[in-house]
Amino acid sequence: MGPIEVVVRRGSVVEARHRVHALAWRDGAVVEQAGDRGLVSFLRSSSKPIQALPLVRARDDLDLRELAIACASHQAEPAQLDAVRHLLAHAPARERELECGIQEGRPPDPLHHNCSGKHAGMLALCRARGWRSEGYRHGAHRVQRAMAAAHAEAAGVDEDSMPTAIDGCGVVTFALSLERTADAFSRLAGLPGGERIVEAMTAHPELVGGAGQADTELMRTLPGWVAKGGAEGLMCASDAGGLGVALKVEDGTHRPMRPALHAVFGRLGLDLGDEFARVTLRNGHGEAVGEVVCAS
């Protein structure tokens, strides 16, 4: 089956079309497929639940809120910033040790970067293992070597086979095929420490993304599921029964993600509701002027 086609309509005219590749995977086999299962993309922020595995294995003293924010791409909401501060204090580490940099459009400090929770978790990992924290974001550091090993373990691939690059927050990001990505998420709950990550994300979906974010809303709609979005149009999810789902928007935008998720989960017998099926476009007056939906 070809990719899912999502269209943007304004009035009666289709203004844009997006192609979305998707795969659902369980026990080493395809459950549902749309498009190219071999499509390779960087996991970007969808990696965060996997990047948290070395942390949870090293520390049994972190609470669910701290683990959830370590998996988050937060919107700098008060509860999210509070969770980052709490994790830093527990690490222990200081805000100035965060190496995520400054994010455009946000206050000019690293705490407000949407990856500050992940970076706080990496500092907490350094403290637990007795590693130096300076330069923890660089590929040669033990933190990033631990991240590479965790991704290879989750995806069932050789560590050296994964293409790497530098993510927006300065750490290493890893590339996998859609098949290996879906497989990695299907195995998340069963990996050592994975159950604790799942518990944290499902207990605090509001910390993982935030108000209006597709991953947070998916977890609220389907209790027991974990979901994590990534840059350039990626979304990954899994349930406790070993079903992993990965979607990649070919043109890298997030606009078609909700309708595509609705289509994929519908094929799996799960209803995400009208808020996913159709995204209403509104103008500056609040008037409905169009929609983003799957092509009929």
Q: What does each of the 296 residues of the chain score in pLDDT, given as a tens digit?
A: 899 999 999 999 999 999 999 999 999 999 999 999 999 999 999 999 999 999 999 999 999 999 999 999 999 999 999 999 999 999 999 999 999 999 999 999 999 999 999 999 999 999 999 999 999 999 999 999 999 999 999 999 999 999 999 999 999 999 999 999 999 999 999 999 999 999 999 999 999 999 999 999 999 999 999 999 999 999 999 999 999 999 999 999 999 999 999 999 999 999 999 999 999 999 999 999 999 999 97
Q: Rounded to an integer, what distance in angstroms lies between the CA atom of residue 252 and that of residue 274?
A: 23
Tally of CA atoms within 13 A in the half-sphere of 187 that contains its CB: 20
Pairing verdict, β 13-26 and 4-10: antiparallel
Model pLDDT, residue 296: 73
**Sign, Cα dihedral of 88, 207, 75, 135:** positive
> For residues 291 and 281, is the Cβ–Cβ distance under 8 A?
yes
Q: Which fold has domain 4-294?
A: Beta-lactamase (3.40.710)
Q: Residue 5 has what pLDDT?
A: 98
- CA 52 to each of CA 78, 117, 119: distance values in angstroms, whole numbers, following the listed order: 22, 10, 10
Helix (H) or strand (E) holding 282: strand 279-282
Reduced to 3 states (helix: H, G, I; strand: E, B; else coil), residue 66 is: helix
Counted residue by residue, the chain has a size of 296
Q: Which of 144, 146, 239, 143 is nearest to 194 (CA)?
A: 239
Is the separation of the CB atoms in 25 and 183 below 8 Å? yes
Please report the pLDDT score of residue 49 as a whole number.
98
3-state SS, residue 292: strand
Angle at 14 between CA 245 and CA 291, to 5 degrees: 60
Q: Which of 11, 52, 80 is nearest to 196 (CA)?
A: 52
Sequence spans of domains, the chain: 4-294
d(CA 61, CA 89): 13
